[in-house]
C-alpha cells in the first residue's frame, strides 16, 4: 500500500496571480462588456434572433444571477437597432358593427398624422356643418319646406272651412279633434233651436255636416303622407348640404392616403356615416350639448357619439429608432394582450373603440419581447394568453372574464392585429424542463433554448477576462477602484463559490454583491481603493451573518454536550465529516460514527435506516460497504458477525454516501480491535473494490472540523482524510492553509480504504500472501483472525443449539416446522 | 255671454292694486306658458294677475246636436260627442288651471283673481280686457295648421290693450327690442318698451323700420324717437328692407320683441315672446 503524504499548503488553495499583467487597480484595466463563458448561450441567442420563422422563440435557462437578462437584452438591442421600425396600428370605429372596431396599419409615424387629420376633419366638419345649416339659404329652404306642407294642410282646411261657411257651418276645435256645427249669428246653433227647425232643414244640415266630415277625414288622412314627404325632402336637403361641406373636407383627407386602400375604405365609411348622422353633429350649441351629454344619455337618445370619427392610435412607432425591445416586468394577461377599458355611467358599464388599450405584445410587435417565465406562469391566464397569441400569430383582445363567460356587459371584439414578435422567456432550468416535459405547445413555440453555464474553466486567460469583467462592474456600479490584490481575491472567491479551484462562477450577482459590500468596508475605512482586506472583510462579515447555527453547534461540541473527540484513540469510533446546507449558506460539522459487532450471520445493521432516518443514498452506501467486507473476508467461510452502525447524536435525517468510507473504517476498527485516532476526521464514499470516491462540500467539511480543533487548540496531530479526487476542489480558508503550512493540521488525500485505515490506526493494512494469509500484526490479519474466532464461536454455538433442538424433536413432530419458520 | 258663473277670487299679497294683467288660460302647455309670462309681467309692473278661463259655449252646443261628430285630429277617426264629457273636460281644466295659477303666483308673490266664464272665447276675452292693462295669450292656439291661434288673430283685429304672446320656449325675458315705424301703434309700442326697459334697467334695442323711405322721412322718424327715449340706454338699428328685417328676426333668439299692431304679420317669424302694442 502506497503510504499517504499529507497535502502541502499550496495544494489547499489555488492562488490567483495577476502580477504578469501591469495594472495596479481596475481603474487601469479596460472593462469587458462581453459575457464570459456563455458561448453556448450566446450562439443560441444569435440563432434565435436570426431565425425568421414562426416558433423560433427562445427560452433562456440558467441559475439566477448568471446575467441572462443582461446578455439577452444586449444582444437583442444590438440586433433591433439595425432593423426597420414596425408599423403604427390604429383602431377606428366600425360604423356598421360598433362592437367590432376595425384596425388600420400605417407606416411608422403616420398614425399620429392620421389621428390629427381625423381630429381636424371632425372639427372642420362640425364648424362647416353648423355654418352651412345656419346659413340663410338653408334656413329659408327648410322653412319653405315646412311652410309648403303647412300651407298645403292649411289650404285644405281653409277650403273646407269656406265650404262650411257657405253652408252656414263652422269648423270647430274639440278636446280631441275637429267637428262641424251649424251656425247662427257667428255662434253654434243651440240644440233646442235646432229642434225647432223643420224636418227638411234638420235633415239637410245633418247631411251637409256628414259630407263635410267625410271630406275632413280625407284631408286628415293625407296629413301623415305630407309629413312623410316633408321628412324626405328635409333629408335630401340635409344630404345635399352635408355633401357639399363633406366632399371638400373629405377630398382633402383622401388625397393624403391614396396609397392606403384600408384607410380609403374607412374614409368612405366615414363619409356615409356623416350623412346618416348629420343632425347629431349640428349647430355650435347643439354639438357642445352632445359632447357634455353622457354616453348613457346619448345611447338612450340613439344619438351618435361625437368621438366616432376619432382615431385610437394603439401603437405609435414614430419615436422608435429600430425594432422595439420590450421587457415587461409584470406580464399579467391584460398587460400582455391589452384590454378594453370601461367606464361606469349611471350604474352601467360603457366602452367604445377609443378605450382599447395596448398590451406589451402590441408594443413589441415587429420586435422583441423579453419576459420572466415564472411571472408569466404565475399570473392567471398569462401563459395561455401568450401561447394563443404566438400560436395564431395575432393579438385578439378578449377579457379573461369574457373567456370564462363571467360577464355579460356590452363589450368589444376588436379586429385582431397580426403578430410578428420574438419572445424571449427567462427562467431557471427546472421550469424549462417541466415545461418541455408537460406542455406540448411549449416545444413548438420555443424552439431555441439558451442554456447559461454556471461556471467557466479557470485559466490564466480566463482570470484576466474575469478581472476585466470586474473592472466593468466597478464602472457600472460606480464603486471605488479595486486593487489588483482585491481582484485576485475576488477571483479566488469566485472559485470557492463553485467549490472548484479549477473553475470560476458565472453567477456574477454573488460577485457584484460581494464587491458592493467590499466597497462599503473600504468606505468605512476611508480608503480610496478597495483592497483585498476589504474583500476578505466582506466575505467574513457575510459568513458571520449566516453562521449563528454553525457556531451554536460548535459551542455544544466544545461544551461536550455533543460528543466529538479531537484527540486520543478509540476502537469502533470515528469522526465523520458532514455538511449542513442552510439556504445559501453551507457549513461543515463533524459527527461521531460508532460501530459495534457481535456474533451473527454477516448482517450489517444500519441503525439510521432502521429508524427511518437514513436516506436511500445513505442506505446504498452501507450496502456497498457490507459487500466490500464480504468480498474481502468471506472467501473461506461465511461472515459470522453482526455489526451495527450509528450516527451518534444525530436527530435529523442522514443522507448521502459520503460517510460510507468512514463507516467502513469504524467497522474495520471494531472487528480488528485497532483503535482509530480521534484527531482525524474522515469523508469519502467507497465502492465495492475499496476505492474512495469524490464527495461534495469538501471545503466546508474540512473547515468545520478545523474550526472545532482550533477552538479546542490544535495539537499538531489533527487533520482530515478526503478522497484524492477532491483535491482539485480545495479552496480552503486562510486559517486552514496557514495551520497546514505550520504543520499543525494535516489533510490526507486518500485513494483506497487500505490507505485510509493505515492513516487512521497507524497500523499497516497488510497484503494478502500467496497462501491467502496476511502478515502478522497487520489490520487485515487482525480482522481475519477475529472473523475466524467468531466463526468458531458460531459453529460451537450452533452445534449446541442443534443438540438442544433435536432432543425435544423426538417427542414432538411439528417442532421442525417451527424451527424452519424462525 | 250666458251662464256667467264667477269663481271666488283670492288675494295672495297684501298690496292691493287696481291695475291687472289679463291672461286667457286653458289647460294647454302654451297657455300655461302664457300664464307664467303674465305672472312675470305682473311682478315686473307690480300689477295684479287676472286669469280667465272661458268654457267654450260652442263646444257644449255642438255636443248637444245629435248628429255632430268629432273627427280625431290625428287619426281622423269619427267619434260621438256628448255634453257630459265636455263638461268634465271643462271641470278638469279649471282645476288644473287653478293649481298652475297657485304655483305661478306663489313663487312670484303676486296677487291674482281667477274667473271661469262660459261663452264665446273671443267675446269673453274682449270684454274682460276692458279692465286690464295687458292681455297675455299662449303662442299656439287651437286652429290647426297655423302658428298663431285663431283667438289671437281675432284679438289682434280689435286690439285695445297690449297683447303678450308667449310659449313654453319663449318666455317673457329681458332685454327688450322694439320695432318702430313711426305709426301711432309703433309709438305706443315704443312707450311700452321704454317703460319695460326702465323697469329692469337693460339696454333697449330699437329697430327703426324705414322701408322704401326717403332721407327726409327717415329723419322725421328719428325725430319722433327723441323725446320718448329720453334717459333710456338704447341701441338703434335702421332697417330698410324686408330681407334685413327677416335676418334680424331670425337672429332674435333671446329677450322679448315688442311689435306695433300694424306690423303684427311678423309674429310668425319670431321665436321669442312677443308683445303687440295697439
pLDDT in tens, A159-188: 888 888 888 888 887 877 888 888 887 788
pLDDT at B6: 37
B71-95 tens-digit pLDDT: 887 888 888 888 888 888 889 889 9
Reference A13, options A707, A703, A714; nearest CA is A703
| Confidence (pLDDT) at A283 | 45
Chain center to CA of A736: 42
- Per the omega criterion (within 30 degrees of 0), is the bond before B175 cis? yes
Confidence bin at A218 (pLDDT 50/70/90): confident
Q: Do B143 and A173 touch (CB under 8 A)?
A: yes
Q: How many CB atoms lie within 10 A of CB A583?
A: 6
Contact A210 B67 (CB under 8 A): yes
In the prediction, which pLDDT does A407 show?
Answer: 63
CB contact under 8 A, A179 and B72: no
Q: Which residue among A154, A176, A186 places its CB closest to the CB of B145?
A: A154
Residues 232-251 of A with CB under 8 A from B: none
Residues 136-165 of A with CB under 8 A from B: 136, 139, 150, 153-154, 157
Average pLDDT over residues A662-670: 94
Q: Which residues of B touch A153 (CB under 8 A)?
A: 144-145
Confidence tier at A388 by pLDDT (50, 70, 90): very high
Contact status of B249 with chain A (Cβ, < 8 Å): no
Query: Scanning the structure block, which residue is given the C-alpha cell 487500505?
Result: A754
Contacts of residue A787, Cβ cutoff 8 Å, sequence gap at least 6: A633, A637, A639, A640, A641, A671
All residues of chain B having their beta carbon less than 8 Å from the beta carbon of residue A161 are none
Q: Which residues of A touch B146 (CB under 8 A)?
A: 150, 154
What is the per-residue pLDDT for A575? 96
Residue A456 grid cell: 467557466
pLDDT band at residue B146 using 50, 70 and 90 as cut-offs: very low
B57 vs A contacts (CB less than 8 Å)? 187-188
As a whole number, mean pLDDT of residues A148-154 equals 81
Residue A538 has pLDDT above 90, yes or no: yes
| HEC readout, chain B | CCCCCCCCCECCCCCCCCCEEEEECCCCHHHHHHHHHHHHHHHHHCCEEEEEEEEEHHHHHHHHCCCCEEEECCCCCEEECCHHHHHHHHHHHHHHHHHHHHHHHHHHCCCEEEEEEEECHHHHHHHHHCCCCEEEEECCCCCCCCCCCHHHHHHHHCCCCCEEEEECCECCCCCEEEEECCCHHHHHHHHHHHHHHHHHCCCEEEEEECCCCCHHHHHHHHHHHHCCCCCCCEEEEEECCHHHHHHHHHHCCCCEEEEEHHHHHHHHHCCCEEEEEC
Q: Higher confidence at residue B189 or residue A732?
A: A732
The active-site residue out of A156, A640, A644, A658 is A658
Say if pTM beats, i.e. exceeds, 0.80: no
Compare A313 and B268 and report the one with higher pLDDT.
A313
Does A565 have pLDDT greater than 80?
yes
Residues in chain B: 278
Q: How confident is the model over A242-268, as a mean pLDDT?
A: 91
* Structure confidence at residue A167 (pLDDT): 85
Instruction: Provide the pLDDT for residue A301.
Output: 57
Percent pLDDT > 90 in chain B is 3
Looking at beta carbons, which residues of chain B come within 8 Å of A194? Answer: 64-65
Answer whether B92 touches A (CB < 8 Å).
no
B45 Cβ contact partners less than 8 Å away, ≥ 6 residues apart:
B19, B21, B133, B134, B199
A119 min Cα distance to partner chain B (Å):
30
Does A188 contact B62 at a Cβ distance shorter than 8 Å?
yes
Better-predicted residue by pLDDT, A741 or A141: A741
**Per-residue model confidence as pLDDT tens digits over A402-449:** 667 666 666 788 999 999 999 999 999 999 999 999 999 999 999 999
B72 touches chain A (CB under 8 A): yes
- pLDDT of A380 > 80? The answer is yes
Q: Which of A136, A176, A181 sits opposite B58 (nearest CB)?
A: A181
| Residue B2 pLDDT level (bands cut at 50, 70, 90) | very low
Per-residue pLDDT at A811: 53
Q: Is the pLDDT of residue A306 over 80?
A: no
Interface contact flag, B57 A187, Cβ < 8 Å: yes
Q: Tell me the C-alpha distance between B249 and A547, whole Å.
A: 97
Q: In chain B, positions 174-193, which contact chain A (CB-CB < 8 Å)? A: none
The x, y and z cell numbers of residue A282, run together, are 349640428
Q: Is the pLDDT of residue A41 over 80?
A: yes
The percentage of residues in chain B with a pLDDT greater than 70, rounded to a whole number, is 90
Are A176 and B61 in contact (CB < 8 Å)?
A: no
A574 — phi, psi (to 5°)? -150, 155
Per the annotation, the verdict on A701 as an active-site residue is yes
> Between chains, do A217 and B57 touch, taking CB under 8 Å as contact?
no
Shortest distance, CA A234 to any CA of chain B (angstroms): 19
B61 closest CB neighbour out of A153, A157, A191: A191
A351 versus A255: the higher-pLDDT residue is A255
Chain B hits for A150, CB-CB cut-off 8 Å, are 145-146
CB contact under 8 Å between A175 and B57, yes or no, is: no
Around A705, how many Cα atoms within 13 Å sit in the side-chain half-sphere?
A: 33
Of residues A8 and A347, more confidence is placed in A8
Cell triple for residue B124?
269673453
Question: Is A664 within 8 Å of A687 (Cβ atoms)?
Answer: no
Least confident of A368-382, A465-479, A675-689, B214-228: B214-228
Q: Which residue's entry shows cell 400569430? A: A393
pLDDT surpasses 70 at B192? yes
- Which among A374, A505, A375, A384 has a CA at the least distance from the CA of A67? A505
pLDDT at B223 over 50: yes
Rounded distance between C-alpha atoms, residue A242 and residue A236, angstroms: 10
Is residue A532 annotated as a catalytic residue, yes or no?
no
> Average pLDDT over chain A, rounded to whole?
88
CA distance A235 to B68: 40
Whether residue A257 has pLDDT greater than 70: yes
Asked if A179's CB is within 8 angstroms of B61's CB, the reply is no
C-alpha cell at A20: 504578469
Per the CB < 8 A criterion, the answer to whether A355 and A375 are in contact is: no
Contact list, B68 vs chain A (CB under 8 Å): 179-181, 209
Chain B contact for A220 (CB, 8 A cutoff): yes
Give the chain A residue nearest B69 (alpha carbons): A179
For residue A812, give the C-alpha cell.
Answer: 414432538
Distance CA A569, CA B276 (A): 135
C-alpha cell at B164: 303678450
**Interchain proximity A221–B76, CB inside 8 Å:** yes
Q: Say yes or no to pLDDT of A140 above 80.
A: yes
Note whether A181 contacts B68, CB cutoff 8 Å: yes
Query: Do residue B62 and residue A206 have CB atoms under 8 angstroms apart?
Result: no
Give yes or no for A134 touching B (CB within 8 A).
Answer: no
Query: Given B62, B75, B146, which is nearest A172 (Cβ)?
Result: B62
- Label residue A261 by pLDDT band (50, 70, 90): very high
The mean per-residue pLDDT over the stretch B13-25 comes to: 69
User: Given this model, what pLDDT does residue A817 score?
Assistant: 44
Interface check A179 vs B, CB under 8 A? yes
Res B8: pLDDT: 37
Q: What angle do CA B90, B94, B95 make, to 5 degrees?
A: 120
> Pick from B58, B71, B85: which is nearest to A188 by CB?
B58
Confidence of residue A146 (pLDDT cuts 50, 70, 90): confident
Residue A609 has pLDDT above 70, yes or no: yes
| Mean local confidence (pLDDT), B9-17 | 41
Which positions in chain B touch A217 (Cβ < 8 Å)?
71, 76, 78
Distance CA B175, CA B256 (A): 6
Q: Where residue A61 falls among pLDDT bands split at 50, 70, 90?
A: very high
List, in sequence order, every residue forming a beta bridge with B119; answer none if it has no partner.
B56
Question: For all residues of chain B together, what is the average pLDDT?
Answer: 80
Determine, for residues A213 and B144 on separate chains, whether the beta-carbon distance falls below 8 Å: no
Taking residues A128-146, what's their average pLDDT? 84
Contact between chains at B69 and A153 (C-beta distance less than 8 A): no
Q: Residue-wise over A427-440: b if at least 16 C-beta within 10 A, else e? A: bbeebbeebeeeee
CB pairs under 8 A between A and B: 97
Enumerate the residues of chain B whose CB falls inside 8 A of the CB of residue A187: 57-58, 61, 120
Distance CA(A805)–CA(A815), nearest Å, equals 8
- pLDDT on residue A808: 59
| Backbone φ, ψ for residue A746 (5° rounding) | -135, 140
For A317-350, write each residue's pLDDT tens digit. Answer: 999 999 999 999 999 999 999 988 887 777 777 7
Of B61, B79, B120, the CB nearest to A189: B61
Question: For residue A323, is it left (φ>0), alpha (ψ between -120 and 50) or beta?
Answer: beta
- CB–CB contact B71 A177 (8 Å): yes
In this prediction, residue A483 carries a pLDDT of: 95
DSSP A279: G
**Residue A89 near residue A417, CB atoms below 8 Å:** yes
pLDDT at A303: 59
Do the Cβ atoms of A148 and A350 come closer than 8 Å?
A: no
Shortest Cα distance from A236 to chain B (angstroms)?
23
Q: How large is the average pLDDT for residues A199-217?
A: 88
What strand order describes the sheet that includes A311-315? A102-106, A88-92, A311-315
Amino acid at each position: 500500500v502506497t503510504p499517504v503524504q499529507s497535502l502541502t499548503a499550496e495544494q489547499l488553495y489555488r492562488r490567483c496571480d495577476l502580477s504578469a499583467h501591469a495594472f495596479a487597480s481596475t481603474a487601469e484595466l479596460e472593462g469587458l462588456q462581453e459575457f464570459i463563458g456563455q458561448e453556448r448561450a450566446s450562439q443560441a441567442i444569435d440563432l434565435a434572433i436570426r431565425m425568421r420563422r414562426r416558433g423560433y422563440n427562445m427560452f433562456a435557462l440558467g441559475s439566477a444571477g448568471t446575467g441572462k437578462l443582461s446578455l439577452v437584452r444586449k444582444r437583442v438591442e444590438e440586433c433591433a437597432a439595425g432593423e426597420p421600425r414596425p408599423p403604427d396600428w390604429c383602431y377606428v370605429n366600425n360604423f356598421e358593427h360598433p362592437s367590432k372596431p376595425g384596425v388600420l396599419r400605417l407606416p411608422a409615424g403616420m398614425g399620429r398624422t392620421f389621428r390629427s387629420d381625423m381630429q381636424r376633419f371632425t372639427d372642420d366638419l362640425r364648424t362647416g356643418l353648423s355654418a352651412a345649416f345656419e346659413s340663410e339659404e338653408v334656413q329659408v329652404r327648410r322653412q319653405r319646406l315646412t311652410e309648403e306642407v303647412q300651407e298645403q294642410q292649411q289650404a285644405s282646411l281653409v277650403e273646407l272651412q269656406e265650404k262650411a261657411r257657405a253652408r252656414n257651418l263652422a269648423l270647430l276645435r274639440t278636446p280631441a279633434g275637429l267637428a262641424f256645427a251649424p251656425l247662427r249669428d257667428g255662434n253654434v246653433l243651440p240644440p233646442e233651436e235646432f229642434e225647432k227647425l223643420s224636418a227638411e232643414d234638420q235633415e239637410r244640415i245633418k247631411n251637409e255636416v256628414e259630407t263635410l266630415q267625410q271630406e275632413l277625414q280625407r284631408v286628415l288622412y293625407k296629413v301623415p303622407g305630407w309629413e312623410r314627404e316633408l321628412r324626405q325632402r328635409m333629408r335630401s336637403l340635409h344630404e345635399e348640404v352635408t355633401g357639399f361641406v363633406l366632399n371638400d373636407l373629405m377630398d382633402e383627407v383622401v388625397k393624403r392616403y391614396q396609397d392606403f386602400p384600408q384607410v380609403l375604405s374607412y374614409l368612405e365609411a366615414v363619409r356615409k356615416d356623416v350623412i346618416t348622422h348629420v343632425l347629431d353633429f349640428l349647430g355650435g350649441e347643439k354639438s357642445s350639448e352632445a359632447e357634455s351629454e353622457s354616453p348613457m344619455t346619448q345611447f338612450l337618445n340613439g344619438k351618435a357619439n361625437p368621438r366616432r370619427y376619432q382615431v385610437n392610435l394603439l401603437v405609435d412607432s414614430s419615436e422608435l429608432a429600430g425594432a422595439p425591445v420590450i421587457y415587461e416586468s409584470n406580464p399579467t394577461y391584460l398587460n400582455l394582450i391589452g384590454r378594453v377599458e370601461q367606464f361606469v355611467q349611471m350604474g352601467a358599464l360603457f366602452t367604445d373603440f377609443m378605450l382599447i388599450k395596448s398590451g406589451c405584445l402590441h408594443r413589441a410587435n415587429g420586435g422583441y419581447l423579453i419576459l420572466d417565465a415564472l411571472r408569466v406562469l404565475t399570473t392567471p391566464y398569462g401563459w395561455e394568453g401568450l401561447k394563443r397569441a404566438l400560436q395564431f400569430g395575432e393579438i385578439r383582445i378578449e377579457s379573461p372574464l369574457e373567456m370564462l363567460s363571467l360577464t355579460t356587459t356590452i363589450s368589444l371584439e376588436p379586429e385582431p392585429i397580426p403578430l410578428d414578435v420574438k419572445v424571449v422567456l427567462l427562467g431557471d432550468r427546472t421550469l424549462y424542463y417541466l415545461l418541455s416535459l408537460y406542455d406540448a405547445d411549449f416545444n413548438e413555440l420555443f424552439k431555441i433554448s439558451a442554456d447559461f453555464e454556471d461556471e467557466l474553466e479557470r485559466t490564466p486567460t480566463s482570470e484576466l477576462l474575469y478581472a476585466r469583467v470586474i473592472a466593468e462592474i466597478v464602472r457600472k456600479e460606480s464603486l471605488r477602484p479595486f486593487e489588483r490584490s482585491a481582484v485576485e481575491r475576488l477571483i479566488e472567491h469566485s472559485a470557492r463559490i463553485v467549490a472548484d479551484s479549477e473553475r470560476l462562477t458565472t453567477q456574477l450577482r454573488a460577485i457584484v454583491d460581494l464587491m458592493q459590500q467590499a466597497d462599503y468596508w473600504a468606505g468605512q475605512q476611508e480608503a480610496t481603493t478597495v483592497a483585498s482586506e476589504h474583500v476578505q472583510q466582506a466575505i467574513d462579515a457575510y459568513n458571520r451573518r449566516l453562521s449563528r447555527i454553525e457556531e451554536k453547534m460548535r459551542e455544544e461540541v466544545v461544551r461536550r454536550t455533543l460528543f466529538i473527540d479531537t484527540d486520543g484513540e478509540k476502537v469502533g469510533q470515528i469522526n465523520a465529516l458532514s455538511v449542513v446546507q442552510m439556504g445559501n449558506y453551507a457549513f461543515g460539522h463533524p459527527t461521531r460514527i460508532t460501530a459495534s459487532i457481535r456474533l451473527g450471520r454477516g448482517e450489517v445493521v444500519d441503525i439510521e435506516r432502521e429508524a427511518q432516518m437514513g436516506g436511500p443514498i445513505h442506505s446504498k452506501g452501507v450496502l456497498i460497504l457490507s459487500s466490500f467486507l464480504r468480498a474481502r473476508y468471506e472467501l473461506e467461510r461465511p461472515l459470522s458477525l453482526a455489526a451495527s452502525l450509528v450516527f451518534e447524536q444525530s436527530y435529523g435525517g442522514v443522507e448521502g454516501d459520503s460517510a460510507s468510507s468512514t463507516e467502513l473504517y469504524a467497522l474495520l476498527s471494531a472487528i480488528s480491535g485497532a483503535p482509530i485516532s480521534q484527531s482525524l476526521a474522515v469523508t469519502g464514499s467507497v465502492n465495492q473494490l475499496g476505492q474512495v470516491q469524490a464527495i461534495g462540500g469538501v471545503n466546508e467539511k474540512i473547515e468545520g472540523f478545523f474550526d472545532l480543533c482550533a477552538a479546542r487548540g490544535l495539537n499538531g496531530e489533527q487533520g482530515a482524510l478526503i478522497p484524492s479526487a477532491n483535491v482539485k476542489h480545495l479552496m480552503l480558508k486562510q486559517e486552514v492553509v496557514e495551520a497546514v503550512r505550520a504543520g499543525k493540521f494535516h489533510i490526507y488525500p486518500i485513494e483506497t480504504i487500505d490507505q485510509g485505515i493505515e492513516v487512521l490506526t497507524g497500523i499497516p493494512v497488510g497484503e494478502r500472501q500467496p497462501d491467502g494469509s496476511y502478515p502478522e500484526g497487520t489490520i487485515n490479519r487482525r480482522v481475519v483472525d477475529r472473523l475466524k474466532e467468531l466463526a468458531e464461536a458460531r459453529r460451537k454455538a450452533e452445534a449446541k443449539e442443534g443438540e438442544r433442538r433435536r432432543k425435544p424433536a423426538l417427542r414432538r413432530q411439528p417442532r421442525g416446522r417451527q424451527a424452519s419458520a424462525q | 255671454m250666458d251662464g256667467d258663473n264667477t269663481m271666488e277670487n283670492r288675494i295672495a299679497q297684501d298690496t292691493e292694486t287696481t291695475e291687472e294683467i289679463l291672461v286667457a288660460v286653458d289647460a294647454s302647455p302654451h297657455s300655461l306658458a302664457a300664464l307664467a309670462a303674465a305672472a312675470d309681467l305682473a311682478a315686473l309692473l307690480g300689477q295684479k294677475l287676472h286669469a280667465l278661463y272661458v268654457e267654450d259655449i260652442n263646444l257644449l252646443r255642438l255636443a248637444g246636436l245629435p248628429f255632430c261628430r268629432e273627427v280625431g285630429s290625428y287619426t281622423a277617426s269619427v267619434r260621438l260627442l256628448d255634453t257630459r264629457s265636455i263638461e268634465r273636460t271643462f271641470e278638469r281644466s279649471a282645476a288644473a288651471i287653478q293649481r298652475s295659477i297657485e304655483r305661478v303666483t306663489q313663487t312670484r308673490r303676486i296677487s291674482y283673481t281667477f274667473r271661469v266664464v262660459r261663452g264665446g272665447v273671443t267675446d269673453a276675452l274682449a270684454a274682460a280686457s276692458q279692465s286690464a292693462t295687458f292681455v297675455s295669450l299662449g303662442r299656439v292656439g287651437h286652429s290647426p295648421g297655423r302658428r298663431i291661434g285663431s283667438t289671437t288673430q281675432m284679438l289682434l283685429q280689435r286690439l285695445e290693450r297690449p297683447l303678450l304672446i308667449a310659449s313654453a320656449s319663449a318666455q317673457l325675458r329681458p332685454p327688450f327690442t322694439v320695432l318702430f315705424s313711426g305709426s301711432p301703434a309703433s309709438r305706443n309700442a315704443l312707450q311700452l318698451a321704454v317703460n319695460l326697459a326702465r323697469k329692469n334697467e337693460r339696454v333697449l334695442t330699437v329697430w327703426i323700420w324705414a322701408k322704401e323711405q326717403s332721407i327726409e322721412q327717415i329723419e322725421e322718424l328719428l325725430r319722433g324717437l327723441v323725446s320718448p327715449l329720453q334717459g333710456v340706454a338704447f341701441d338703434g338699428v335702421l332697417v330698410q328692407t324686408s330681407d334685413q328685417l327677416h335676418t334680424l328676426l331670425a337672429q332674435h333668439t333671446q329677450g322679448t320683441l315688442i311689435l306695433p299692431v300694424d306690423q303684427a304679420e311678423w309674429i310668425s317669424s319670431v321665436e321669442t315672446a312677443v308683445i303687440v302694442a295697439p
